[in-house]
Each structure stands twice: as C-alpha cells, then as structure tokens.
C-alpha cells in the first residue's frame, strides 16, 4: 500500500477539508461522469465546466461556468486552470476500442497539457481519471492492489498508464498534488438491475459512489500523491478499495450483487464464507482458554 501514495507531511493523512466554495475545473464535464458530478456537487464547489463544443454545455450550464475549448491547446488550458484550486481531469476518448489516432491527441497530449497547465496556473491538485483498463491485463483470478504494476489490456489502457506515470512525476518532481483514480464500470444503479449486465459484477461503480469518491479526493489534505480504485461495495471486486476506505474514509453505498436479479437472492455478503471469525459457523480454539 505504501508504494501507492506519498504523504505531503508527517502525521495523519486522512484529513478532510470540506470548506465550501473551493474552485474546481472539470474537464470532460459533459460526459456521463462529469455531468453527474456537476449536478450533484455544484452547491459544494464553485465549478468551471470545460466542454469541447458549445452545445455540450447546454445541459450543465446551471451547475457552473461553462467554458469551451480544446485540450490540445496548452495556452487555452492554462487560462482555464487559472484561479482554480483543483482540476478533475475526466476528458478522454473512453472507448476500449479507441485507436492511436484518437488516443494520441485526446488522451496523451490532452493529459500532458492539463497537468502542465495546472502546475503553471498554481493549482493545488489534479485528480486524474484513470481506468480499470490500466490494470485489466492482470490475470482475472487475482485482485489488483493499488501498489501493483500497471498492466493495460488495450491501447486505451496504455494511455491511462501514461497519465498515471505523468501524474506521479508531476507530484514527486514538480510538487503538484496528484491523485490517480482508477475508475471501473461507471453506471447508474438501475444498470445493475438489468439481467444482461452481469459482466459488470466485479467492476461496477455507481454514479453516487464515484461522486462521493471524487469529492473525498478533492477534500483530502496531506497527500502529495495517491492511487485509489473507484468501485462500489461489490462482494467480488476486481480492484481492491481498501486504500480509499482507510485514507479517504470512502464508504460506498451500492453493491452490484445486491441489485442484479440473478445474484441478489444469493446474498453474497452473508452466505459466502469469509474463513475468519466473522463466520458464525466457526468457533476459534482460543475461546476455551479465555474466561
């Protein structure tokens, strides 16, 4: 775990500063994650919402200042980052099938420009939206931890590995606080209730759980760098969320297995053995030697 984060100072790490009105730039603000986050956090933060085309900003303009620009223009990005406390960088071509011709400008150049612009503008932190695809090349029978090496499953995942590496460089060598957030299958809870979506069982993250996690990444103090996994409270998570629980106080509310019609009657959390003393079927041999 220690290899996945760096403290900015000695002492307790999980300190949250929920002072209202902090200024946040959100790139990709018209996307599914960005739009939901804007709608559900605009009363907490002063939002600047970046979109690529004017029409994209129509449905989110009630939640903050909408700005239109291109990630590949470094000067534009510097202007958008000016006077911002934190940048939540969500913009990218998110398709697992994305080709190099799209990944290069959108996910590589755009990410570089966002980090450099944030540093140049004096922002305190960048939260980089990475993905489970950065580690999806690991065998499916092992859970991925935040300190494990990246192992991308596609070119899209390769682009996220670039962002993770750049983020660590910017944190450790340039002094910009950076949090890497590897996001799973972001969906509303209703998606978990559809029988055809069983494939999301181990990577599901609900819209409200991810919004809680992004909020905690913005508010946490004392971290120079960290990697967290963005999944809900699923019984069989592909990526371990312990760091987010312990360092951020993340408390996911949703569980794919409790919602899916083929799984909810199984009741994984109570019927699957944990093989420790939380199992009511076991009694520790120590008990006979205790008063």
Residue 251 binned pLDDT confidence (cut-offs 50, 70, 90) = very high
User: Taking a C-beta distance cutoff of 8 angstroms, is the pair 233, 204 a contact?
Assistant: no
Catalytic residue among 63, 156, 196, 250: 156
β-pair type (65-68, 5-7): unpaired
Q: 1 pLDDT exceeds 60?
A: no
Q: Is 156 one of the catalytic residues? A: yes
Task: Determine the angle formed by the axes of helices 32-41 and 207-219, rounding to 10 degrees.
Answer: 70
Percentage of residues of the chain with pLDDT beyond 90: 73
Q: Which residues, in sequence order, are bridge partners of residue 144? A: 239
Where does the chain show beta strands of DSSP type E?
Answer: 5-7, 15-16, 22-27, 45-51, 65-68, 86-89, 125-131, 177-183, 185-187, 204-206, 220-221, 223-230
**Taking the complete model, does pTM exceed 0.95, yes or no?**
no
Q: What is the CATH number of domain 2-289?
A: 3.40.50.720
pLDDT at 217 exceeding the cut of 60:
yes
Q: What is the pLDDT of residues 45-100, one digit of tens each?
A: 999 999 999 999 999 999 999 999 999 999 999 999 999 999 999 999 999 999 99
| pLDDT value of position 173 | 97
3-state helix, strand, coil in the chain (%, to 5): 40, 20, 40
Alpha helices in the chain, H assignment, sequence order: 32-41, 74-81, 100-103, 110-121, 155-172, 207-219, 242-243, 256-259, 268-271
* Average pLDDT along the chain: 90
For residue range 178-214, list pLDDT tens digits in order. Answer: 999 999 999 988 888 888 888 888 999 999 999 999 9
pLDDT at 197: 84
Rounded average pLDDT over 205-229: 95
Per-residue pLDDT tens digits for 264-285: 777 766 666 666 666 666 666 6
Per DSSP, 64 falls in state: S
pLDDT tier for residue 152 given thresholds of 50, 70 and 90: very high
pLDDT band of residue 253 (cuts 50, 70, 90) is very high
Q: Which residue has the higher pLDDT, 252 or 222?
A: 252
- Tokens, residue 150: 């990246």
So where are the chain's domains? 2-289
Question: Exposed, middle or buried: residue 3 (CB in 10 Å: 0-12, 13-18, 19+)?
Answer: exposed
């Amino acid at each position: 775990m220690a290899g996945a984060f760096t403290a900015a100072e000695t002492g307790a790490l999980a300190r949250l500063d929920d002072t209202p009105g902090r200024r946040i730039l959100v790139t990709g603000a018209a996307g599914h994650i960005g739009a939901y986050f804007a709608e559900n956090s605009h009363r907490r933060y002063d939002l600047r919402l970046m979109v690529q085309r004017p029409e994209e900003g129509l449905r989110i303009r009630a939640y903050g200042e909408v700005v239109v620009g291109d990630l590949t223009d470094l000067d534009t990005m510097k202007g958008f980052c000016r006077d911002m406390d934190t940048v939540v960088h969500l913009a990218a071509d998110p398709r697992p099938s994305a080709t190099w011709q799209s990944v290069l400008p959108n996910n590589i150049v755009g990410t570089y420009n966002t980090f450099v612009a944030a540093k140049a503008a004096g922002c305190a932190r960048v939260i980089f939206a990475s993905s489970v695809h950065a580690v999806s090349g690991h065998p499916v029978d092992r859970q991925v931890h935040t300190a494990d090496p990246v192992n991308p499953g596609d070119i899209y995942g390769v682009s996220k590995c670039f962002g993770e590496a750049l983020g660590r460089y910017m944190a450790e060598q340039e002094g910009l606080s950076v949090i890497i957030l590897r996001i799973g299958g972001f969906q509303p809870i209703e998606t978990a209730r559809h029988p055809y979506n069983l494939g999301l069982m181990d990577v599901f993250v609900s819209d409200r759980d991810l919004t809680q996690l992004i909020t905690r990444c913005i508010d946490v103090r004392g971290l120079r760098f960290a990697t967290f996994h963005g999944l809900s409270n699923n019984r069989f998570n592909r990526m371990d969320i312990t760091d987010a629980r312990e360092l951020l106080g993340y408390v996911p509310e949703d569980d794919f297995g409790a919602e899916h019609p083929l799984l909810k009657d199984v009741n994984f959390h109570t019927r699957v053995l944990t093989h420790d003393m939380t199992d009511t079927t076991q009694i520790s041999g120590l008990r006979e030697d205790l008063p």
